[in-house]
Amino acid sequence: MSTVAVIGAGSWGTSVSWMLGEKGHRIQLWSREHDVAEAINTSRHNPIYMSAVVLPDTVRATADVAEALDGADAVVMVTPSIGVRATAESMRPHLGPDVPVVVLSKGVESDTLMLMTEVLEDVLGNRSRLAGLSGPNHAEEVGRGIPSATVVAAYVDRVGRLFQDIFSTSFFRVYTNADVVGVELAGASKNVIAVAAGMSDGLGYGDNTKATLMTRGLAEMSRLGHAMGANPLTYMGLAGVGDLIATCTSRNSRNRALGEFVGRGGTLEGYRGTTEMVAEGAFACISIEELGRRVGVELPITHEVRAILYESVPVTQAEGALLGREARDELHGIGLVDD
């Protein structure tokens, strides 16, 4: 088995460490907080995230990134997307040039509009050793061994198959996909649609409304992916519609929960004050909309989510703006029909 450095000890990092450690990999788990690392090593529990998960003896935590990377055969990055660049910069002096790295963070960097593997390439170099993993993978379920599936997208096939082998277990099925842009972009943009779905829940609307938001959201995601060179069929897979379903409907979804909180009259600041969790959709609605502007793709749901969260636009006003849009061909702009 391999020595795997897991960089990030939040909910997802803790569940991944449990899963890979139970498989027999030696896990070197990096936590930003020294107290968290110490608690994991003494009690076998993360005291903040996924505290019910009992981590096996194959998992050893540290607050020293050099120690976490020492001797690692592969690296799994599981930090919030907003922290990927800074974390990668701290890793760079301690990471060999050919060590494979897979990033599980879902987002688009706000300043550069880079996807997460592009950020890693910018900081660490050697694009050929990079991959992204994305799918309907709530940490709360993976950490309980509930059957799940995911997709690994890599620039080089052998790297994708390496991480497919590392992550595959009896309950966690891993597929590969060469469409790195599509897999990563779908993972980032679906979080925004999930915020909108949560707003629908908060307003007390029903299944029709949520199904409409999810379906038109998927079309919006696909249009952006098509404009950026992604394979439209990726959006029909686990990283697209699969992750969208899970994130828009699950009680475990932070993004859906944020939307529901706002739909009931709350604010983004109020939500942040009630939870230690990061709702990636709150960041992604800004960067995804900017990315759409860059490539000339209209993203109406993303635009309204951003306006509600950051410009105090009432949810009902945004609803009216969406329902009042000019009717179009359902499949326009997604690359499956002539536009």
- Note the pLDDT tens digit of each residue in 159-212: 999 999 999 999 999 999 999 999 999 999 999 999 999 999 999 999 999 999
Element (H, E) at 300: helix 300-311
pLDDT at 336: 58
Q: Which of 112, 87, 106 is nearest to 287 (CA)?
A: 112
What is the DSSP code (8-state) at residue 301? Answer: H
Amino acid at 223: R
Indicate the angle between helix axes 254-263 and 281-295, nearest 10 degrees.
90
* Homologous superfamily (CATH) for 3-178: NAD(P)-binding Rossmann-like Domain (3.40.50.720)
Residue 298 phi, psi dihedral angles, 5° rounding = -80, 130
How many whole angstroms from its chain centre is CA 83? 13
* Structure tokens belonging to residue 48: 């903040």
pLDDT at 326: 78
Residues spanned by CATH 1.10.1040.10 within the chain? 181-323
Q: Enumerate the active-site residues.
A: 190
Q: What is the pTM of this model?
A: 0.92
What is the DSSP code (8-state) at residue 179? Answer: -
Residue 62 three-state SS: strand
Contact 90, 65 (CB under 8 A): yes
Residues spanned by CATH 3.40.50.720 within the chain? 3-178
Element (H, E) at 148: strand 148-154
pLDDT at 323: 83
Residue 21 phi, psi dihedral angles, 5° rounding = -65, -40
Contact 91, 64 (CB under 8 A): no
**Beta-strand pair 3-7/26-30:** parallel
List the chain residues with pLDDT less than 50. 338-339
* 181-323 under CATH 1.10.1040.10, yes or no: yes
Rounded CA-CA distance 250/253 in Å is: 5
What is the DSSP code (8-state) at residue 332? Answer: T
